[in-house]
Structure 1
Amino acid sequence: MKKLLTIILSLCFIASFAAKRKYQYVKITTSKGEVIIKLYNETPLHRDNFLKLAKEGFYNGTIFHRVIKDFMIQGGDPDSKNATPEKMLGSGGLKYTIPAEFRDSLFHKKGVLAAARDNNPEKASSSSQFYIVQGKVWTDSALKVTEETRLKFKIPEWQRQVYKTIGGSPHLDKNYTVYGEVVKGLEMVDNIAAIPTGKANRPKEDIKMTVTVLKKREVRKLEREFKKEAEKK
């Protein structure tokens, strides 16, 4: 009985600790602004992979090589570093993929960070390439068509309201892993999405990025800002 009680108390402690887990944040800086992104704890494989690459400086100097207005901005191809204007991009990466981590609560609303991938049956993600959704605002009728022709499932009502107000790209749901969201600086996404593009949707102007992981003091400052903003509402 005593041993059982000890096990139960230990499990309660672990559950309590997990409930208080802090989020990790990364900052992407470009000539068009910067965003701060919260990485989801619900997608640990993608979260940890992105953090690892960011800490190694892997993304620094790469560009947003594929940009489609009202859809998304994509980057993370290591071949894009110092690439010539004629170079076709989008196939670069490391020699591994990341298993899909689909979660019903995570969907393609405007501002989310998601993993790019090639066409594989497991829907495994690229080791490094990612995109940030700009998307657009949807109507009920357009969402219904997307459900019937692309998704083959019904979008939950609370998510429909987000797509009808904030916007996003619902046709990607449960096809590409969402693993973070912009919490500050969403204007950068809009600025990059507005850039003229050429062949293969590559911007005519190279938008290089620097990706860093926020330190604890930076996270504390950020969370204080969020708290003040919430108190004003």
Structure 2
Amino acid sequence: MRTPVLTLLLLIFALITNAQSTYVRLITNKGNITLLLYDKTPKHRDMFLQAIKKGLYNKAQFNRVIKSFVSQGGELDETILEREKLHPELPIQRLAAEITPILFHKKGALGAGRNDNPEKSSYFSQIYLVVGKPQTDEQLDALEKKKDIKFSPSQRTTYKTLGGTPHLDNDYTIFGEIIEGMDVADAINNVTTNRNDLPLVPVTFKAVVLSKKEVQKLNKARL
């Protein structure tokens, strides 16, 4: 049963997301996930769209799945870094961070992966879906002190009800969120993995951009 607070949060999210313009569907072998890409992070939105156009996510995998944390898809860190090591003559490609406090690591958030670089710049070919878990006020208080950040009242409510991974806030760029298919994302996050967090049975996906007609139909269904 939905609580009044949770219902209000979902209504607010719906009103915000309906004002956005770009949607992507992940067609996975576990079901479909529909993503909204934020206009507040235009560089990451366009980066993801370009990667889709180039076919980088035509036969992709969720290749690092950590239960109650995140499900990572696209290229692995090791693959990217090894390629860069083999070709030192080529410039290292990263996308400047677009970190903003109002976009946070709630459950269902879409983030851009990166290595441990001080600029917090993102890879061009790695994404992750946040699953996380509900937080307590004590946990959020400790994170505020440790990271020198401040969670808004609405963020606190979201983290305590829907859950997420707040310890990643202010360190990675969030550039979208799941609006349909969270049950599929949960199923992916619960698959059996090996010691390297790789699913024993591959979880594959293809990313496609929704047409204007599909977006209109989607928004109408969500009203």
Q: 1:98-140: CA deviations, max 9, x gaps?
A: 1000112100000010001000010000111010000100111
Give TM-score scaled by structure 2 length: 0.84
Q: Equivalent residue for 1:5?
A: none
Structure 2 runs not aligned, ≥5 long = 1-17, 84-91
Q: Equivalent residue for 1:178?
A: 174
> Aligned match of 1:73 in 62, 71, 74?
71
Structure 1 runs not aligned, ≥5 long = 1-19, 78-88, 228-233
Q: 2:77–2:115: 8 Å Cα contact kept in structure 1?
A: no
Q: 1:65–1:90: 8 Å Cα contact kept in structure 2?
A: no
Q: What is the percentage of aligned positions where both structures have the same residue?
A: 42
Q: 1:21-52: CA deviations, max 9, x gaps?
A: 74100000111111100000000000001011
Alignment of 1:1-233 (within 5 A): 22-77=20-75, 89-93=76-80, 96-149=93-146, 151-227=147-223
Give TM-score scaled by structure 1 length: 0.80
Q: 1:38-79: CA deviations, max 9, x gaps?
A: 0000000000010111122211112101001111100111xx
Shift of 1:173: 0.5
For these two proteins, the number of residue pairs brought into alignment is 196
- Secondary structure in 2 matching 1:91: helix
For 1:128 and 1:142, how far apart are their aligned partners in 2? 32
For 1:218 and 1:91, how far apart are their aligned partners in 2? 36
Q: 1:33–1:187: 8 Å Cα contact kept in structure 2?
A: no
Q: 1:112–1:132: 8 Å Cα contact kept in structure 2?
A: yes
Structure 2 counterpart of 1:70, one-letter code:
S
For 1:41 and 1:92, how far apart are their aligned partners in 2? 29
For 2:183 and 2:29, how far apart are their aligned partners in 1? 12
Shift of 1:199: 2.3
